[in-house]
Chain A
Amino acid sequence: MSQDNRLILLEDISKDFDRHTVLSDINLYIKKNEFLTLLGPSGCGKTTMLRIIGGFEFPTTGRVLFDGKDITDEPPYKRRVNTVFQKYALFPHLNVFENIAFGLKIAKLPKAEITSRVGKMLELVNLLGYEKRSVDSLSGGQQQRIAIARALVNEPEVLLLDEPLAALDYKLRKGMQLELKRMQQVLGITFIFVTHDQEEALTMSDTIVVMKDGFMRQIGTPKHIYDEPKDAFVANFIGESNIIRGIMPKDEVVHFCGLNFECVDSGFEKDEPVNVLIRPEDIVITDAEDVPLKGVVRSVIFKGVHYEMVIDAGNYLWKVHSTVMVPENSKVGLSVVPFNIHVMKLTDDELTGDEQ
């Protein structure tokens, strides 16, 4: 990868608030035109990371580089990034036009240019004709669009979005996800997006950074993170999963539920304890006689596209998604193709937990 493609570089960033560490050991680069999502539960440090890039917080250690230039100590108003804030933070005393024109007026652009650029932005967010409206009179979705327009009109090289869709209802959120992705592609700028919603992250991102307790747990494309989660936390956070402890007797064989299974993973020590991840949609229900892993259906819930079943097999309650309904209490067999059995190394926490 060429160095030139890296727009933002975070080097050894850590951040303490009142001796409480919220970010540690952050090393990350963000490419031009990338849609990068910081994903994690609340309190994982994702918003703090965004605020450090925006210039609203300053790291305790480490540097922020923008286009090769150190901007660690630059205040927000000197950075070429703009932010779409949580709950939008529109200026309540200004109307729609004045809100969008705010940054352009500070930049002292000529009036005609301000008018035309605001007009273009309103067109982009489908709110032409709303110039004179007060922001209080707009719906949540409309306020959202104004907040995006207000940031984008300044033609930033990077747009930061701090859970911008969290306050919208389900349908609107779905629509805005696609629209944001479209805007990012049309404008060709970098988006850094913070969310706790894994589905949102999977839908929109080029790259996902999964965070927990101030650390980056995994970075990769949505497909990579879904298919090859690094540990149980990532697996659980992204998508639904069955995670069970097992050991690796040898390469490409994993032992769990008292049985050996073929898999595609290798490179473990002999009998190394591991976590085994099997996605609910990867489990195939068969007749009880056909396979070694047998169980009983405990519950069946209709979910629209599929049935969600809980099957008690090998001392584990398996979550299984299937388009075919099997009645409760029936005896079934469970099978998984080797490719869909994903073996994960235990994290340090899990290892020490095992010893105790």
Chain B
Amino acid sequence: MSAMSMPAWGIWLMALGLGIFIVMIILSLKKHRGVHRSLFAWPYSLWMIVFTVVPLFLIAYYAFTDKAGSFTLDNFKNFWDSNYEMKKQLIDMGFDVSGMELSDRGTVNVDTLVYSLWMAFKCTVICLAIGYPAALFMSDRNFKLGPTLIVLFIIPMWMNFLLRTIAWMTLLEDNGIINTLLESLGFGKLKLMYNSNAVLLGMVYNYLPFMVFPVYNSISKQDIKLSEAAMDLGADEIKTFTRVTFPLSIPGIVSGITMVFMPSVTTFFIPRVLGGGNTEMFGDLIERTFLTADNWNVGSALSLIMMVLILFSISLLRRVDPQGEGGSLL
């Protein structure tokens, strides 16, 4: 069966590894007279090293090597100037490229990154603007439905993002529900799909719950006595919000921003379905470089640039919220 494509030596290697584990555990159990439980974490540690740490280093390895495996910075030069590789080949063939007029200005990759960051920024701002009041209203202790509603907010997030995006197609298409409705009411059809606003809508739709949940968490776990104390000390509702509730919810906001911004930058698929041809985002670019252009080295360089950007923004945000208090989605 073609599905079982593992080569024989791979299976033997895995079996060997497993064998070594078991022997090591038995030996250590003997040595520690059966008391030390930290050994139970060994298989996991090895698994995480092989399947998480090593692969991340591989991205760096491919990013700094060429197809032959020797060290190069060409992959990054290719990021700045997407014609770099072509020019290099032309020079190798003996052409003078200095005066050559290329159809592409060579800034495609940088443009895509800037566009992605801009889109991610807009998406994050919109999510915060829409999501914060929602989280605030739901965390009101007098609002009995709050806890139920927050579950309703989270459920769509668990739905496959392909399906969520496809669902919007049904609504936005030229012959989709909204246009049909508009037509039957006597308005003309609108061009709702295949532009960057549709992509933005798709992104906001996908990532809004990521903003609402951590903010909700950080507000609802605040001690009610804090706002009571503020009121007792003479603050009205608005002052209580601006001076107490809001500052205390900043960790939640930070986590929300991280959780919306990160996947937004790496968004792929959504632009392809809802956007037109010129709305490609950085995630799509990486995917295309790997799988369509089959260029793992340049693809790795692009991924590395993205990872560095993400790590940078996380560390920046961690400064505001050192404990990561906004909480996870679990």
Contacts and interface: CB of A to CB of B under 8 A. Distances in A.
Contacts of B35: 55-58, 75-76
A77 B33 CA distance: 10
Interface in B135-178: none
A73 interface: yes
A70 interface: no
Nearest to A74: B33
B99 interface: no
A56 B34 CA distance: 9
A75 B34 CA distance: 7
A76 B35 CA distance: 8
A58 B32 CA distance: 9
Nearest to B34: A75
Contacts of B33: 55, 58, 73-75
A310 B142 CA distance: 56
A55 B33 CA distance: 9
A335 B97 CA distance: 109
Interface in A284-340: none
Contacts of A75: 33-35
Interface in B26-73: 33-35
A133 B35 CA distance: 30
Interface string A49-86: 00000011110000000000000011111000000000
Interface residues of B, number: 3
Contacts, number: 13
Contacts of A76: 35
A125 B33 CA distance: 33
Interface in B1-42: 33-35
B34 to A, nearest CB: 5
B66 to A, nearest CB: 46
A77 B34 CA distance: 9
Nearest to B35: A56
Contacts of A73: 33
Contacts of A58: 33, 35
Say what secondary structure dominates the interface of chain A: loop
Nearest to A56: B35
A83 to B, nearest CB: 13
Contacts of A74: 33
Contacts of A55: 33, 35
Nearest to A72: B33
Contacts of B34: 75, 77
A58 B33 CA distance: 9
Give the one of A55, A58, A75 with max B CB within 10 A.
A75
A73 B33 CA distance: 7
A81 to B, nearest CB: 15
A327 B35 CA distance: 61
Nearest to B32: A58
A341 to B, nearest CB: 50
Nearest to B29: A75
A106 to B, nearest CB: 14
A78 to B, nearest CB: 9
A322 to B, nearest CB: 46
A58 B36 CA distance: 11
B36 to A, nearest CB: 10
B320 to A, nearest CB: 35
Contacts of A77: 34
A198 to B, nearest CB: 31
A74 B35 CA distance: 11
A270 B33 CA distance: 55
A303 to B, nearest CB: 37
B27 to A, nearest CB: 15
Contacts of A57: 35
A75 B32 CA distance: 9
A312 to B, nearest CB: 45
B144 to A, nearest CB: 29
A289 to B, nearest CB: 60
Interface string A168-208: 00000000000000000000000000000000000000000
B214 to A, nearest CB: 31
A59 to B, nearest CB: 12
A209 B35 CA distance: 27
A148 to B, nearest CB: 23
A58 B35 CA distance: 10
A121 B33 CA distance: 30
A55 B32 CA distance: 11
A76 B36 CA distance: 12
Contacts of A56: 35
B157 to A, nearest CB: 33
B142 to A, nearest CB: 33
Nearest to A51: B35
Nearest to A58: B33
A57 B35 CA distance: 8
A137 B35 CA distance: 30
A73 B32 CA distance: 9
A74 B34 CA distance: 10
B135 to A, nearest CB: 34
A93 B280 CA distance: 55
A55 B35 CA distance: 9
A15 to B, nearest CB: 14
13 contacts: A55-B33, A55-B35, A56-B35, A57-B35, A58-B33, A58-B35, A73-B33, A74-B33, A75-B33, A75-B34, A75-B35, A76-B35, A77-B34
Given A55-B33, A56-B35, A74-B33, 8 more contacts: A57-B35, A58-B33, A58-B35, A73-B33, A75-B34, A75-B35, A76-B35, A77-B34
In the A-B complex, the 4 residue pairs with the smallest Cβ-Cβ separation, listed nearest first, are: A75-B33, A75-B34, A56-B35, A73-B33
